[in-house]
Chains A and B, each alone.
Chain A
Amino acid sequence: MNISLITDFPLHLLQNGRSKIDVFFEDEVLYRRDPSNKKFPFSSISLADISTNRSGNNNKISCPNDSKYIVKGTDVEIYSGVVYILSIKRQNFHVELKKTYRETSEKDGMPYSYIVEMYLVHKPDEYNYAHTVIEITFQGKIMSFNPDTGVYNRGLGRKDRLASKMRSILRDEIQKMVIDKTTV
């Protein structure tokens, strides 16, 4: 359905020229839809382009119900299902927007390391001011599933033992942010 035809589309989600906010509040949470019905949904999440909505202080930016609007261009789909609530505080993102993980292994007697960073970035768009992404970098490169670049498959998605360990760590970190879930 076209966005202009949805009478209950929440106006507070419209960006209306507002700038992004580069800090997160201690009690702030993120909302993320999950249609998978899994008990450990973030243990199997794709580690690139992880979209969420930020709540702001006391849901001033968005609330769980706002996650039901999926805006594609000027068209909107309405989602019905589970929305997970992730705590910012659980990963100290209110203190620092970046978390760094370094793991080392050995191949043919030679030590090597991978460095993965996880960032929380407020990325408002025209119809969703709350839009926030968990951005992952591998050896300094932002992971993305863009098939033209193949960045993920050559990076964090590569099939070696250490990369697999890093993926498990990141999924575990995100899963541990979950503090509740609700249905919209």
Chain B
Amino acid sequence: MLLLNRNPKHEISAQARKFQNILISLSGSDVLFGFNPKVIQSLGEDGDYRKLINFYSDSITKTYNLDLKSNFNKLNQKIELSNEQRKVFETFIEFLLSIGISEEKIIVEDSIEEEIIVGRIYHSGTKMISINSFGDIMFSKSGKDKCEDSREFIDFEQFDAESLAYKFLS
């Protein structure tokens, strides 16, 4: 698991707790439909976040990282990513993989002017992230009704994978 492999032990708890909070907020959504937030909460109570990691590993298809990485490699061959763009894209995709989001939920496409589009289509609308060559991000939400639409910009310097994932998935 990426969270366990990449972080020294003392960082695991804090990061896993954030991870737990994200997933609690997602339970009941179409990403984690059918999971009870109380069960997720209880998994981390004794401080053993490995249970939490295992819970998601068991819950979601195991082929996800191969699929998303294969999409990433295809994009890499098709367009020349800038360093900033690559950093944002890789970090964001790695974060999604680390919390077990499957490829079937995520759409990755390239754009005519070397932007990368990462999107989701769900029952009542779409969410889309566009990453330009400067590493700047546009996060856009579109609902069935115009009043549900929104858009915000995140400069490369302000990019944080976790908070972007929260907006994207919640």
* A positions within 8 Å CB-CB of B: 38-40, 43-46, 89-90, 157, 159, 161, 164-165, 167-169, 171-172, 175-176
Contact = CB atoms under 8 A, between A and B. Distances in A.
A32 to B, nearest CB: 15
Contact of A167 (B110, B113, B151): B113
A43 B130 contact: yes
B128 A164 contact: no
Interface string B129-146: 010111010101010001
B109 A161 contact: no
A44 B113 CA distance: 7
B14 interface: no
B1 interface: no
Interface of B: 107, 109-113, 115, 117, 119, 121, 126, 128, 130, 132-134, 136, 138, 140, 142, 146, 149, 151, 153
Nearest to A36: B109
Nearest to B110: A44
Contacts of A167: 113, 115
Given A38-B109, A157-B113, A164 B151 contact: no
Contacts of A164: 113, 115, 132-134, 136
Contacts of A90: 146
